[in-house]
Every structure is written in C-alpha cells, then in structure tokens.
Amino acid sequence: MHLPWQAPRVEAMARQAPIAIRALAAGLRKHGMTNPTALQSLAKLILKQGADTPDTIHAWAQASRKLSPRLRQTILKLTTIPQTRIGPHPLLAHLASGGMGSVYLSADSNDRLTVVKLLKNDRQSDPRFTQRFLRETAMTQRIMDKYVVRCLDAGCDPDDEQCYLVLEYVQGGDLRNLIRRSGSLTEKEALTILYQMARGLMAAEAEDIIHRDLKPANIFISKNGMVKIGDFGLARTTDQERTILTLDGTIVGTPGYMSPEQIRAEDDLDIRSDIYALGAIAYTMLCGQPPFEGEPSAVFRQHLYDPPPPLQSTLAPLNPRTIKTVYKCLEKDPKKRFASASALAASVRKTITHIGIAQQPCLAEETIARSIPYDQEISAPQPSSEPRAISPEYHKPACSERGQDGANSVTATLTSGPKHTTITTQAPPPYRQDHPPPVSAGYDTENKNDAGEVTLAADLTLVESTRAEPSFCGSLNDAITDDWITIRPSDGNLEQQVLCYARSNLVFGKLRSAPCDVCLRLYPLTEHQEACQRISRSHWQLAYDTQRFCLTVCDLGSGNGTLLNQRICNPHQLWPLEIDHVHQIDIPNSITLDIRIIPQRSIQNTTLIPGTQPESLGIDSAMTLDGAVITRRTNRPEMQIVQVLRCVSVGNNGDCTVPAPGTSDIARYGGRWITRAHGGSTWHPIIPGENVPGLNWTAQPASWNDFH
C-alpha cells in the first residue's frame, strides 16, 4: 500500500517541483481530492504551462478546460491569496480560515513547507485577541518535543502590523479524520495514541503550559506514524467542532472536550484540565463519539454533573484497565484524576504491558492511511443530534448498548400500539475502503502514453470502453430540452411508465408541486388516505454529493421519519449509498422503495457534436455515477423513477427493466435528451411523441399529471 507521498516517482517530483506546486499538492492532499499518481500528472501539466507561482497557477486553473469543476474550484480556493508574503515568509496556498485568522502553507529558506497562521485584521483592534496570539507564540516556542508541533517563528509584519505564527508542517493526517474513517479505533491504536498524547503533554507541563483546546482535530499524525499535539492556545472555528472564545476570556475550548473547571472558568487551571480532555478524546477513539453530545449548554451541564456513559468498544471487549484509565481521566474532581501527564503516560504504558499489546513507537502504516482524506474513501459525517423517532417513545441507548453491525450502531425500540418493533439505527457509514474509487481529480489515472507515463486526460474513465467511436444522427435541436420526461408504451398504457430526471437532487414527498420532484402517493387515494398522510410534503432527498462522489439519502425533517436499509435516518444528515447492492427506503406504515445505483461504465465524451459545451449532467459531464433507478415494492411497481446523471439503459435488459421489445440508452447531452440502441454507437435525439429507437416506447416532457 502506498501512502500519498510514497507512490513511485512522487517523492522525486516533490524534490524537483517548484515550491508553489508542492504547496498546491499538499493542499489538495489536505482536501482529500486526489491520489499520488494524479498529483504527479497535475504537477507535470502545470509545469508544462509554465505556471510556478500561486498567481500563475490560479490564472491557469481559471482558463483550463482539462479540470473537473470540483478540482478547478479547489485549486482556485487554494491559490486565492490576498498577499504574497507576511514578513519574510511567502504565502503559497490557503488552507483554512478560523476564529482567529487564516492558515496558509509557506516555505522556509530551504524550501521546506511550513504553516503560517495570520491573525484576522478585524481582530487587531481588540488587544485581548492580539495578546492571546502573542501568548501562544511565547508558549509554543518554549516546547521542543517530538510529540508537539514546533513553533518556528512569530512576529508582527511592520507594514500592516499583522501578527503571524509559523509552525512545523506535519505531512500526514489527523485524529479527527482517523476516527471519522474508522468509526472507532482498536484498543491498541487508541492506547498508542493516548500514550503519545500524554508524552506531548509532559513536554508542555514541563514549561508550565496547558493547552485548553485539546480535541481530535488538534492531534496530528505524521507520515512516520508519530502523534503530535498542535494549536496550543489557538481558538479555531469549524462546522463540526466549534471552538468557543468569549471576548472577556471566560470560556476557551471545545464543548465536547472541556473539563468541568474549564467550563466554570476557574482561574487556577492546571494540567489536569488537559488530562480530562485526553480522557474525552480516548473515549471518542474507543466509542466512536464523545462522551457527551448535543447543544453546547447541554454538553456543559453533562460535563459538570453527569457521569460518562458506559464505555464499550464497538470492535471488541475492552480490558478493564483501559476502561479504568479513561474513567480516571474523566473524573469531575481534578484531585481524583491523574496528578500529572507523566502519571497518565505511566499508567497507559502499564496497561499496554498488562494486556499483552506490543508497545509500538509509532502507528502502523494502515492506521496512518486512515488518518488521511485521500482516494475518495469517504468519511462518515459527524454524528448529529438525537435520531428522529417514528414514535414519541424512542430511546437512544448509551454507547455500551450498541450493536456490532456498524461502527456507530445502536439498537432502538420503537413503540407503536401494543406491538414493539426493533430497528437498528447508526451514524452514516464510511464509504467502503475496498470500493473502486472514482477518479476525483477529473482525469484518468490509467491513461498512459507510449513511454508508460501517466498523462492527464479530458475523460473520467472507470471502465475502458472498446465501443466504436460514437456518432450522432439527426438534429440535436429537435430533442426534448425539459429536464424531466416520461417514457410510456406506444399502445397508450398509462399505468406503465418511466419518469426520467436529469437532476442531481431529487426531493420525494406527497406534494404534486415544487419543491418536490417526485410525488409519493398510494393508489387509489381513496383507499390509502391514512398511509398517504404519513408522507410529509417534502419527506426525503436523493442527492449527488460532489465532495464524496456518491449519491446520498437525507431525511428532510419529516414527521414520520425515513428508514434506510432498516435504520433510522437522522434528519438533515447525509447518508452515503454504495453501488454494490439495492438500498431500501421505508416511510413507516406507508411506502417502500428500492434504490439501485448505476456506476459509471463509459468514458466522458466531449466530441459527439463539435462545439457543444459540457453540462453539469450528461455523458459529457464529470459525474462519477451514471444514475439511479428507484422502484416501488408494491402499489404501482410499474411506475419507475430514473435519475439520469450521465446515461441509464431502459428496456427488457436495462438498468430500468420494463416489458419493452428492446433496450435503449437514455442520456443527456448539451442540455437535451438523446438515445441509442443499448450498446450501439449512434446517438439520436429524443423527439416528443416519437418512438425511442431500440425501445419502441414514446417520450414526452413530463408533468405533475403523470402522478395520477
């Protein structure tokens, strides 16, 4: 297995490429957008165009047509830099913006990558923010330890009086990504990380420094498997883990990992407050979620007054010594915790020895790989609030009650009258690591030239096509332009129909109007009024996720809830769908649907009709899926819904199976509907009211009356 920096020729490229291109590649790795071979291809292309500074790379990305929209957008974001340098440090790539400022990649005099953090200009007028920034500088520079991210430089630019901090660049991942992609860690992994974090705190404790904002996002994992604590004292805001800094300095930290005394804003905090945070991080590693979750005020109350839920790994039973160590860190009274970081490290080391785990100086390569968001291995979203119940009597069990079928699964009992139904709910699973990944960078990593080198291609190719060169017969102007069509038998059978949508997002609900796309009803309505009432006006959504390259299901806050594969969907949370099996959607006591994802099976074609501009959907798009077919289990199963992202076959041997004499491929191109006989090479326009070639059904622009 190659990590992102270990692929053949990538290390040599990294040594030879201009520093701006190396910074861009590092930024793309942090975004998890590409693989090592694709990085090399991209670097070669940029060098060929003579772009070797952030400005010239930015201009090239704006003009290039060889990049997918997502890759172009990310490159433009990385190279949008308001100033070229701060003090003596060049600013090469924009990584993030947070509560106190922005984060950039830079380089030292030896062209080694570094990280520069700038204090926001609008904060300069507040001396407390500036003082805290300078305080972190002084504190961090005193810590020299392999388990802590080093502070290399700091200062205030004389031109605009902007404060900056220069830190060691850690090539690798972080603990937040590792937990997201793993669900929960093995006991060996968690203890190894906890031991190294404790060693890092020992170095801070020796300098009389406390961190006050320890959380998984601040624990970095280097390429050699070493754990490093970063962001000493720096407040930072993200969507999932919000760091809170009050202007009067009373509360600093992240709610899920704050000690009781930190919440009370006590003045005499010591290292035991950070030890509490390490206990919360250890709990998260083993259990897959923090000990307390919810709104900040609720989490604060739980930290102050509630014992942590029972700790039990979802992977294997934990040794009692491990549980005891974590609980001792999480004691409400600081006097009952470990008195020092060295005491915690010694306890963890004894636990490792006692349970017979070989103590490793660093993490295994496979663990390091899971800490890095690359090659489209999609991480599960952060757990949201309480799962929505189908009945008022839903109870969310503690971590120890979880089942063994998922990283974050729990078993819930739903009460409905005298009967009880047991249903499993879980946090959205990560994309399977053995799943064939789409090509995220927008080019084909399998396309090689005569010399065997990987070259950039305009096509997104997952399966090499041996079909003859495609052609087009007829006038594209005659084709249907509406993004929603219905295809029916030519004999006028109104019950049998296929509704095709060229839309990346489909909203399902009982409305026969916007914002719904698909009307869900049971027929005849007079016999199924009660079941139809259980369907919300806008109930759930099927959407293509451009960050994960997959289709997702999302409950839109429905009153009756949505079940995906017999698991309750937390409302307003994206649940990724894999392509290797049929997914079941249930609206309880109402309707059941099946969803089958169609993988991309042909190359992106941009030469069908010269001069036609690529669309966001269609055979000339960068979509990594061909589409999806949604069928009803019962009650009008002959009405089928097809989401056409690129191309889907319909017919007696198609993705969407119907009793037709043949099979046709249905696709979008240039904003219009086109078709061909399944497997053929000649495309035709889909003309209103005329037979679809190969299928012998007719197509028309659809309307809400089709849901009769």
Instruction: Outline where 175-319 has alpha helix (H).
Output: 175-182, 187-206, 260-263, 271-287, 296-305
* String of DSSP letters for 505-540: EEEEES-SSTT-SEE---SSGGG-HHHHHTS-SS-E
How wide is the angle at C-alpha 452 spanned by C-alphas 449 and 458, nearest 5°? 35
Task: Please pick, among 174, 213, 517, 586, the residue that the annotation labels catalytic.
Answer: 213
- Taking every pair of Cα atoms in the chain, the longest distance, rounded to a whole number of angstroms, is 85
- Rounded to a whole number of angstroms, the distance between the first and last alpha carbons of the chain is 55
**Considering just the CA atoms, what is the radius of gyration of the chain in Å?**
28
Three-state SS string across 364-376, please? CHHHHHHCCCCCC
- Beta strands 163-168; 484-489: pairing state: unpaired
| CA–CA gap between residue 179 and residue 635 (Å, rounded) | 42
Cα 690 from chain centroid? 43
| CA–CA gap between residue 595 and residue 604 (Å, rounded) | 24
- Beta strands 591-599; 583-587: pairing state: antiparallel
Name residue 519's beta-bridge partners.
509
| CA–CA gap between residue 687 and residue 335 (Å, rounded) | 79
What amino acid is encoded at 186 in this protein?
T
* Non-local CB neighbours of 564 within 8 Å, separated by 6+ positions: 553, 575, 583, 584, 585
| CA–CA gap between residue 215 and residue 199 (Å, rounded) | 16
Decide: helix, strand or coil at residue 353.
Answer: helix
Long-range contacts of 167-170 (CB under 8 A, 24+ apart): 167/114, 167/115, 167/116, 167/117, 167/140, 167/230, 168/114, 168/115, 169/26, 169/105, 169/112, 169/113, 169/114, 169/115, 170/220, 170/221, 170/222, 170/228, 170/230
| CA–CA gap between residue 610 and residue 72 (Å, rounded) | 23
CB 377 within 8 A of CB 549: no
From residue 173, give the alpha-carbon distance in Å to each of 3, 27, 169, 558: 11, 12, 11, 37
| CA–CA gap between residue 300 and residue 293 (Å, rounded) | 9
Look at the chain and count its residues.
708
* Non-local CB neighbours of 583 within 8 Å, separated by 6+ positions: 553, 564, 565, 577, 594, 595, 596, 597
213 belongs to the catalytic site: yes
Q: Which two tokens stand for residue 610?
A: 């010269």
Q: Which two tokens stand for residue 623?
A: 């979509």
Decide: helix, strand or coil at residue 164.
Answer: strand
| CA–CA gap between residue 155 and residue 85 (Å, rounded) | 13
> Order of strands, edge to edge, in the sheet holding 505-509?
518-519, 505-509, 540-545, 550-555, 575-576
Residue 346 phi/psi, 5° resolution? -65, -40
Q: ω into residue 291 within 30 of 0, thus cis?
A: no
From residue 361, give the alpha-carbon distance in Å to each of 155, 364, 409, 551: 35, 10, 32, 40
| CA–CA gap between residue 188 and residue 363 (Å, rounded) | 10
Instruction: Outline where 183-232 has alpha helix (H).
Output: 187-206
Catalytic residues: 213
